[in-house]
């Protein structure tokens, strides 16, 4: 066998080994990774938020869900002392008068999960926050958190650029 053919065969075996290793199940591969999705159940605009110093995006009043920011690590198995520090900046949304941004910070428990998924962050009235790991959207079957936020009937319609065309 020539050196070139031997090298090709070795390279082929290496590639096959690496590909099969990617599909192999390992007991504990370290922290899981979650996409972050915000749900804003308040009349305030959330300019930005952070979960354990990882940027999570923003969220309009009574909006959120369906969009994700990547990524944050978390333990593959839930434990009772599991918490995260949530920091967010908020201000009044129309029709309320803008009076500047206010920063908030809370240490929040991550609620029980038995499956890996995304991190759903629910901003609730009274500066309360709920953190849920779930493989799906708020309101989906089996979801243990609040449904997606709904705007009050008298809340002004959000006007998008597409609406003006």
CB neighbours of residue 58 within 10 Å: 19
CA distance 48 to 72: 16
CA distance 124 to 22: 40
Q: How far is CA 96 from CA 49, 91, 101, 161, in A?
A: 21, 9, 13, 21
pTM above 0.95, yes or no: no
Return the domain boundaries, the chain.
Answer: 32-164
Residues 6+ away with beta carbon under 8 Å from 76: 28, 29, 31, 32, 116
Coil, strand, or helix at residue 138? coil
Spell out the per-residue pLDDT of the chain, length 165, in tens. Answer: 554 455 455 444 443 444 434 343 445 678 999 999 999 999 999 999 999 999 998 999 998 876 677 889 999 999 999 999 999 999 877 767 777 788 999 999 999 999 999 999 999 999 999 999 998 888 889 899 999 999 888 887 765 555 455
CA distance 142 to 131: 16
Tokens coding 89: 């900046």
Coil, strand, or helix at residue 103? strand
Coil, strand, or helix at residue 163? helix
Q: In which element (H, E) is residue 143 found?
A: none
User: What pLDDT is recorded for position 109?
Assistant: 97
Q: How far is CA 31 from CA 26, 56, 161, in A?
A: 13, 18, 41
User: What pLDDT is recorded for position 83?
Assistant: 97
Burial (CB count <10 Å: 0-12, 13-18, 19+), residue 88: buried
């Amino acid at each position: 066998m020539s050196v070139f053919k031997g090298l090709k065969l070795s390279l082929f075996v290496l590639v096959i080994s690496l590909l099969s290793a990617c599909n192999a199940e390992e007991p504990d591969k370290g922290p899981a990774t979650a996409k972050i999705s915000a749900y804003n159940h308040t009349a305030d605009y959330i300019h930005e938020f952070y979960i354990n110093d990882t940027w999570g995006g923003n969220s309009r009043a009574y909006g959120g869900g369906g969009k994700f920011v990547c990524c944050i690590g978390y333990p593959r198995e839930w434990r009772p002392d599991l918490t995260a520090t949530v920091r967010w900046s908020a201000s009044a949304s129309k029709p309320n008068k803008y009076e500047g941004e206010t920063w908030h910070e809370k240490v929040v428990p991550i609620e029980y999960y038995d499956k890996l998924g995304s991190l759903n962050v629910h901003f609730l009235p009274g500066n309360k926050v709920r953190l849920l790991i779930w493989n799906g959207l708020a309101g989906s079957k089996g979801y243990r958190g609040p449904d997606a936020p709904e705007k009050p009937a008298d809340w002004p319609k959000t006007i998008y650029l597409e609406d003006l065309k």
